[in-house]
Amino acid sequence: MERDKIVRIILNGKRADEETVRRAVYQMRNHATKIDVRVTWEKGDAARMVEEAAREGISRIVAAGGDGTINEVVNGLMQLDREHRPEVALLPLGTANDFATACAIPLDPQMALQLAVEGSAHKVDIARANERYFINVATGGFGARVSADTPPLLKKYLGSFAYKIVAVIKMIRYRHSRGHLILDGINLEGEAITAAVCNGRQAGGGQMLSPQACIDDGLLDVVVILSFPLKDSWRAIREIRHPVRPGKYVKRFRTQWVESYPGETRSVNLDGEPYLADSIRFEVLPAAIDL
C-alpha cells in the first residue's frame, strides 16, 4: 500500500485497552505508516464509521475485532456504491476468529496489522440474506442456538472452548427443526439438526463446515445435517468429517442462491450475529469487496 495513504482502524471498543493492539499500532506508525483509530461504543457504530471513512477518502480500513465486527463493517461497505467502497483488512481480536483463521490471517496483532497495512487486496464475494449481508457463514438450527446462547463472559475466559461446552448442554434438550430448502432444481424438505450457508469455511469456534468453500468462486456452499437415528450416529459423523456428495444424512450443495422456509419465524446467525425471519433468500454477490 502507498505510504502516503491513511489506514483507518475500526476497533471494537471491548478491545480498546489491549496493550498488544496499542503496541502494534505504534510499531507500524514508527515505520512512517499513517494510521488513525476509531473505537466503537455500541451497535451501528462500525457501519457508520465505514461511511465516514469513505466520505473522507480513506482507501483502506481495518476491521479490528471478532467476526461480529467484521460483519458490521461488511454491512456498512455494502451500503456504498461499489466504486466507493474502501478496501478492508482484518485485525482478528475475537473469541473464535473463524473467518480470519480460515483465510490464514495471523492472530498475532503485530503480524496481522502488518499484513493489513502492507498486503495486496483481492476481490472476494459477499453473501446476502434478504436485506442483510455476511462474509463468512450463516447458520440455523442447532448451530445458531449454540452461537446465540454462549455467554460473552464464558467466551472471554474459555475462548472457543466455550462453544463446545454450550453445545453439549444444548444437545441434551435440543428439538429438531422442520424446514424446506429450494435451490437450483432441488427441493429438500424434512427435519434437520442444523443447516449452514457458507461463503467461508468454518464457524462456531473452529468447526470446519465446508472445507471446499472459497470466498472468490462466485458460489455458496450449503450444508444440511438431517435428523438421524441413534444407530446411524457413526455414519452421520463420518459424513460430517469426510464430505461426500450425496450423503444420506449430510447434504451438500454448491449454488448461487438458496431459499429457506423454516415453517415458523426462527433466528439464524449471520457471522454469529442473530437475524430473525420466517423465510430467507440467500444469494452470492461475486467480487463485491476488496479484502
Mean of pLDDT values over 250-276 = 87
The pLDDT tens digits of the residues spanning 50-89 come to 999 999 999 999 999 998 899 999 999 999 999 999 999 9
- Residue 6: pLDDT above 80? yes
Across all residues in the chain, what is the average pLDDT?
A: 85
The pLDDT tens digits of the residues spanning 83-141 come to 999 999 999 998 889 999 999 999 999 999 999 999 999 999 999 999 999 999 998 85
- Residue 162: pLDDT above 80? no
Does 72 qualify as catalytic in the annotation?
Answer: no
- Residue 232: pLDDT above 70? yes
- What lies within 8 Å, CB to CB, of 172 at 6+ separation is none
Count of beta carbons in the 10 Å neighbourhood of residue 241: 10
The pLDDT tens digits of the residues spanning 183-193 come to 988 888 888 88
* pLDDT score of 141: 56
C-alpha cell at 203: 464457524
- Residue 243: pLDDT above 90? no
* pLDDT score of 194: 82
C-alpha cell at 36: 488513525
* pLDDT score of 113: 96
Question: What is d(CA 69, CA 272) in angstroms, rounded to the nearest whole number?
Answer: 10
CA dihedral 200, 201, 204, 207 (to 10 degrees): 180
- Residue 180: pLDDT above 80? yes
Pick the catalytic residue from 42, 191, 273, 283: 273
* pLDDT score of 236: 79
Nearest to 275 by CA among 285, 265, 261: 265
